Structure 1
């Protein structure tokens, strides 16, 4: 019975399929009875869809048509590889373009990520934009120093004066922090502050504070506070000096009057020569013998009858007439400057800064013996303006003229350097008085390095050891020895500032290009201050004359050290 039903279902399905060529039939089987159904139901599983195909008779084909179809197939078969090759060639040509497009997109994304990038180099911590339009560098230096006086024998002080002896000890010689950079490629700027400078007055801590326009790679103009262009040793940063302190004549005639002055300047520098010219007024702040303001903040405040600001025109020309390469050259140069000085007087004709060496007008020159912790002046001209307007013996400095000649010879690890400086004093009560000084020294690198040259400054630059120091490696850094002679004479006519000469010896170790250790021994050969008055007269006050006089024929020798760490 079951077999009959199954056969009947199959017959019905076949008949239904024959009714229409477009009819599709879905069939289901009952899992228990094994019956076939055309509709879904409980226990039924779909077994497929069935569609009737009607046979369509094709029209007869002629022999010509067969030949034509055969030719088309042959042509298609033969042209298929050609079309494939053509498609491959087009794809190969398009591939580099697609890759270039993808690389361009990646580069744009990288540029977006790296518009500003930073690094550490000789300029310190440096950041800049990828297009070079803007940059900024954070830099600084710290110089811990020590001084031990193993011969220290001036005359004893008397009365209410303080002791004449120099003091041993340690301090932070300089602690500077600065920022510099560029904007729109042709402009740059620099601001630097020294936290150990200026006897605690805020304004005096400012050193560089200027903006510069670089007209070309060689020619530039700047405005603000910057170093006056004078002297080979002064042009070099204190980070790159051979000895711990500059020589007495450079300190007295350039550094102590504060070489950082406010004004405008122009500089032209190429590889073989450079020149700098400047028109400047007084330094920022009150710490300086060149400060004529009656106020504690110096030139930052000209109120209360401080008078007009002093000014100067100054310049330096230097170059390397002989040069084989950067390790073998001869440098020569000259400097000159004229400085106008104001002296302030009260309504009754008395001088405001009588006896002072800074503030209230006038000018004084003084020198310390190359020491770095106790830099007490053992030579001192006193204020070169002294006496009331009604005093027939009064003296008033109205200006001074400075001149300098310099030479520097470098031949591999050997170097020799020297300068001569002269300052002429002009004004009421003076007749051709002049102060002079000179120095010379030689140095040698035991490890083979050479002195480096700073083209824009025309002076010494950073030393880079051939083998920087390594704790567990072969490098010991660079080692340099040096010896020199130093002389200054501030006795001339009515000026009785004293005369001295000395020798100094140095050992320098450069473990890395940004770290330097220096050890110096200084020894005074002769000190002549017999003409300096011991009373507070003739431009001296506060016992400064008595102190200078107390060093006449005195003996002094000291051992100095200093670390320089800069970034």
Structure 2
């Protein structure tokens, strides 16, 4: 049986009704801002066009012209059709998602584990809301788009309560050409460094991002200005990989360059020197329909470390910083490869560089080498019960944790295996087992802790 798009089927039925003289009902239509396809129901990334009724193909009945007696009468009987005015706020859409988590200790010193990716890991924890995002986005004009995203489940440093509202994204895209291949992005947005950092946590399979890449940019975001370029065919591939359920990272340009403050999201610059970044990523479409994405990123700048009194080895001291007034050297390069799950998938990233790190022996924060990355396997099953994606992820990191006080050395070795089930587009359930060996970088003596966890996450999309 030949399948017909929903909108086309509707117009076909309306045309038949019109031919039979039946009354015609109006329908609301929506357009996907990325693919420009028409839909008969709302959804993520779709903008409302309005209510429409199928026009009859039959010629209108003949009407005898009324006698015209003067030019004034002609003007009075002439109707000028004007298209309805579409305001900018008619182009704005609202969507979002909520993640609820639960971690259960299975062995080792799991109660003492701490992870920057999940604050609900550790002692005396229960259910927690990991994210509660609301996205307001759309095309204000044909050449300018906006994107604003607060998170309603943030916890400020030092707070004993959670679920505060905090800004994640607030930026505008200014398109430089009619084909929308060149754009300037200005505001607080994701820094184009690391494929997994750019991938939304709404789409990510593993519960947390790998520390090696995520330690480069706090909350993956900062305030800056970026230039992105995506040719038309590449732009279409990025859109397909994200909207098809293959969990792409989105369109951050085939090529991107930019400058940003460098101190992390929602933090002011501290040294009057900007970080600079360059990004490249290309999604190949193979002859068999398989998608393979490869790319590389690099950034450089100076980072100002925060220090405080600490007790280590029986001595209390405040570390000095072996760097200029502008801050410590902070630079990295990274490479990624993603073989999208169709049905088998694989992704991996690796980074090397230099950054600030506490040298306990010298009681100094000084520039030291860093390295790390991850590899992940996954398989995508699709059936009547929805989509099921089992996965396994290994990660490692050896380097400083620059965003934490005193930039302590961070040692991570972790293996996570789990499965994600999507019974519908609105609901996702993930269950995973994690074997963690990681440094508690939140407080001295910066112990390395081993533990095993059962992790559960429920996500609802709206």
TM-score, length basis structure 1: 0.54
Matches within 5 A, 1:372-521: 386-387=319-320, 397-410=327-340, 412-425=342-355, 433-447=368-382, 475-490=384-399, 497-521=409-433
Measured on the aligned residues, the alpha-carbon RMSD in Å equals 4.0
Is residue 2:455 matched to residue 1:556?
A: no
Which of 93, 97, 101 is the equivalent residue of 1:141?
97
Local SS of the residue matching 1:238 = coil
Match of residue 355, structure 1, among 280, 285, 308: 308
Flag the 1:315–1:148 CA change in 2: closer, same or farther, 3 A.
Answer: same
**8 Å CA contact 2:254, 2:282 repeated in 1:** yes
Which of the pair is proportionally richer in strand? 2
Does the 8 A contact of 1:404 with 1:422 survive in 2?
Answer: yes
Which of 230, 235, 252 pairs up with 1:269? Answer: 230
Offset, 1:198: 4.5
Q: Which of 213, 219, 227 is the equivalent residue of 1:258?
A: 219
CA 1:114–1:324: 2 relative to 1, 3 Å: closer
1:244 & 1:156 partners in 2: Cα distance? 19
Q: CA–CA distance in 1 between the matches of 2:281 and 2:101? A: 32
- Residues 1:193 and 2:150 are matched in the alignment: yes
Secondary structure at 2:347 match in 1 = strand
Q: Does 1:279 align with 2:259?
A: yes
**8 Å CA contact 1:433, 1:495 repeated in 2:** no
Cα distance in 1, alignment partners of residues 365 and 128 from structure 2: 40
Report the number of matched residues: 347
**Counterpart position of 1:9:** none
| Counterpart-to-counterpart distance in 2, 1:298 and 1:206 | 11
> Retained in 2: the 8 A contact 1:386–1:394?
no
> Within 5 Å, which residues of 2 pair with 1:180-259?
180-199=137-156, 205-215=166-176, 216-254=179-217, 257-259=218-220
2:443 to 526, 541, 544: 544
Shift of 1:182: 1.0
- Three-state SS of the structure 1 residue aligned to 2:99 is strand
Is 1:121 aligned to 2:5, yes or no?
no
Question: How far apart, CA to CA, are the structure 1 residues paired with 2:388 and 2:189?
Answer: 32
User: Any idea what SS the aligned residue of 1:233 has?
Assistant: helix
Kept in 1: contact 2:319–2:365 (CA 8 A): no
| Residue 314 (1) aligns with residue 244 (2) | no
Q: Aligned ranges for residues 285-300 of structure 1 at < 5 Å? A: 290=264, 298-299=267-268
Q: What is the CA deviation profile of residues 174-203 of structure 1, one whole-angstrom value per residue up to 9, with x for unaligned ones?
A: 011221111222211011110112426999
The change in CA–CA distance for 1:497 and 1:121 in structure 2 (over 3 A counts) is: same
**What residue number does 2:109 align with?**
153
User: How big is the shift at 1:520?
Assistant: 1.1
Larger Rg: 1
What is the CA–CA distance in structure 2 between the aligned matches of 1:339 and 1:518, rounded to whole Å?
37
CA deviation map 1:83-114 (0-9, x unaligned) = xxxxxxxxxxxxxxxxxxxx9xxxxxx99x99
* Structure-2 change in CA distance of 1:191 and 1:498 (3 Å): closer
8 Å Cα contact 2:147/2:172 also seen in 1: yes
Higher helix fraction (1 or 2) = 1
**Residue 186 to residue 119, structure 1, CA distance change in 2 (3 Å):** farther
Give, in angstroms, the shift of residue 154 of structure 1: 7.0
Contact in 2 for aligned 1:444/1:480 (Cα 8 Å): yes
1:268, 1:274 within 8 Å by CA — same for their partners in 2? yes
Query: Structure 2 CA distance, aligned partners of 1:225 and 1:411?
Result: 31
SS in 1 for 2:254: strand
Q: Deviations over 1:517-557 (max 9, x none)?
A: 11111012x55x6xx9xxxxxxx9xx8122x22x3xx4301
Could you tell me whether the CA contact under 8 Å between 1:253 and 1:423 is conserved in 2? no
Q: Is contact 1:504–1:521 with CA below 8 Å preserved after alignment? A: yes
Question: Alignment partner of 1:237: what SS?
Answer: coil
CA drift at 1:219 = 1.3
DSSP-derived class of the 1:241 partner: coil
In 1, the alpha carbon distance for the partners of 2:111 and 2:414 equals 19
Partner of residue 173, structure 1: 130
Within 1, Cα distance between the matches of 2:342 and 2:284?
17
Q: Which moved more, 1:220-229 or 1:312-321?
A: 312-321
Q: CA deviation at 1:252?
A: 2.2
* Aligned equivalents of 2:154, 2:353: Cα separation in 1: 25
The alignment status of 1:334 with 2:296, answered yes or no, reads yes
Q: How far apart in 2 are the matches of 1:207 and 1:155?
A: 30
Residue 204 of structure 1 deviates from its aligned partner by: 7.6
In structure 2, relative to structure 1, the CA distance for the partners of 1:132 and 1:313 (3 Å cut) is farther
The residue aligned with 2:315 is: none
C-alpha distance in 1 between matches for 2:111 and 2:99: 32
**Structure 1 alignment gaps of length 5 or more:** 1-102, 104-109, 158-163, 283-288, 292-296, 344-352, 358-384, 448-466, 468-474, 533-539
Deviations 1:261-299 (A, max 9, x none): 1111111123347122221125xxxxxx748xxxxx842
